Amino acid sequence: MTKNIAVLTSGGDAPGMNAGIRAVVRSAIHSGMKVWGVERGYQGLIDNRLVEMDGRSVSGIINRGGTILHSARCEAFLVPAGRERAAKTLLDRDIDGLVVIGGDGTYRGAAALYEEHGIRCVGMPGTIDNDIGGTDFTIGYDTALNTAVEAIDRLRDTADSHDRIFFVEVMGRHSGYLAMMSGIAGGAEAVLVPETPTDIGVLVDRLRACRDRGKTSSIVVVAEGDEAGNASEIAAKVSEQSEFTDQRVTVIGHLQRGGSPTAWDRILASRLGVAAVEALVEGQSNVMAALNGGEVILRPFSDTWEVKSAFDPRCVRIADVLAT
């Protein structure tokens, strides 16, 4: 039975990762295990940067954004020699279980670590993008959504005052999920996402229709991965093809990654953290603690690569209908 485990955060940081670390540390101790925190993701395993954690070392972090363990991307872990050094760091301390908080790239690394060195790995989904297959929600998404909506609300005030169009760029790598939900919650006149084709002519027609129905300002939410370009490029194309020239562009950017996690993200991280440790106690590996229809379940890592993430094209219609 596993006696010693470690926890790390990897890939892009997300608010709520600290709540996840806290949950893993405290539930491991509760189960009679020792637990180490690994600094800077897989790089910390290679560099032997581990600290033993106790209940007090995670005091006062449930409300803090970022990750106290720091996160990193690690090229060396992509090759077997790097993973061998990482495994040695763990095995020298008799650690045979690892909780990884991150995205699908992180799980690919974890799967290789298990396959090559037998270190059992359990994942927790952490990213603001909510683009990991097999879970309804990821840790950090709700906080980022609320940050984006607050920004849109503020921009609406100034857009209204000056009868302007605002183009607001929302993060999400290749996924439009965060942008779509931000647009629905912020009452945007249009939402442009990579999952659906963007046609500047159609967008211009929509902005005209909104104006003709009496709207004096408009908000266009642009997902950072939209295939028609970033918010500035799309704004420029709209001005070239229309009479709309009084426009402003705001990129919310990394503001979406920071901040105190919402209650939802803290609760999600806490539930998934307890489930991840229980999975290790049961002897499981290569599974992610996930939310499925309100229930916490374990999904194979392969689902995170093979199952499509939560983007629902019906939301495009909802955003369109409600923007009229």
Hey, which residues are catalytic here?
129
CB 193 within 8 A of CB 247: no
Is residue 304 classed as helix, strand or coil in its secondary structure?
helix
Q: Which of 111, 116, 185, 87 is nearest to 144 (CA)?
A: 185
Using the contact rule CB under 6 A, the part of the chain among 46-54, 58-66, 72-80, 153-161 near ligand ADP is 72-80
Among 5, 74, 191, 277, interactor with ligand ADP by CB under 6 A: 74
Cβ closer to ligand ADP: 40 or 156? 40
Minimum distance from CB of 122 to ligand ADP (Å)?
14
Cβ closer to ligand ADP: 78 or 281? 78
Minimum distance from CB of 313 to ligand ADP (Å)?
23
Residue 57 Cα to chain centre, angstroms = 25
Tell me: does residue 109 bind ligand ADP (CB under 6 A): yes
Cβ closer to ligand ADP: 171 or 203? 171
- Tell which positions 32-61 bind ligand ADP, by CB under 6 A: 42
Q: Token digits for 214? A: 């009496």
Among 13, 39, 96, 104, interactor with ligand ADP by CB under 6 A: 104
Among 89, 106, 218, 270, interactor with ligand ADP by CB under 6 A: 106
Minimum distance from CB of 71 to ligand ADP (Å)?
9
Using the contact rule CB under 6 A, the part of the chain among 10-18, 26-34, 256-264, 295-303 near ligand ADP is 10-18
Minimum distance from CB of 110 to ligand ADP (Å)?
8
Measured between alpha carbons, how far is 3 from 66 in angstroms, rounded to an integer? 28
Cβ closer to ligand ADP: 73 or 237? 73
For 66, other C-beta atoms within 10 Å of its C-beta total 18
Q: H or E segment at 206?
A: helix 200-212
- Tell which positions 110-139 bind ligand ADP, by CB under 6 A: 112, 127
Q: Which of 148, 187, 49, 127 is nearest to 309 (CA)?
A: 127
Q: Token digits for 54? A: 């106790």
Residue nearest to ligand ADP (CB): 105
Beta strands in the chain (DSSP E): 4-9, 34-38, 50-53, 97-102, 120-125, 165-170, 190-192, 218-223, 247-251, 287-292, 295-300
Tell me: does residue 303 bind ligand ADP (CB under 6 A): no
Cβ closer to ligand ADP: 89 or 106? 106
Tell me: does residue 103 bind ligand ADP (CB under 6 A): yes
Measured between alpha carbons, how far is 274 from 294 in angstroms, rounded to an integer? 15
CB 86 within 8 A of CB 77: yes
Measured between alpha carbons, how far is 174 from 275 in angstroms, rounded to an integer? 29
Tell me: does residue 77 bind ligand ADP (CB under 6 A): yes
CB 5 within 8 A of CB 119: no
Residue 322 contacts by C-beta under 8 Å, 6 or more apart in sequence?
Answer: 184, 187
Using the contact rule CB under 6 A, the part of the chain among 30-38, 103-111, 117-125, 312-320 near ligand ADP is 103-111
CB 62 within 8 A of CB 19: yes
Cβ closer to ligand ADP: 105 or 300? 105
Minimum distance from CB of 171 to ligand ADP (Å)?
13
CB 268 within 8 A of CB 137: yes
Cβ closer to ligand ADP: 107 or 167? 107
| Residues at the contact surface with ligand ADP, assessed by CB under 6 A | 10-12, 42, 73-74, 77-78, 102-106, 108-109, 112, 127
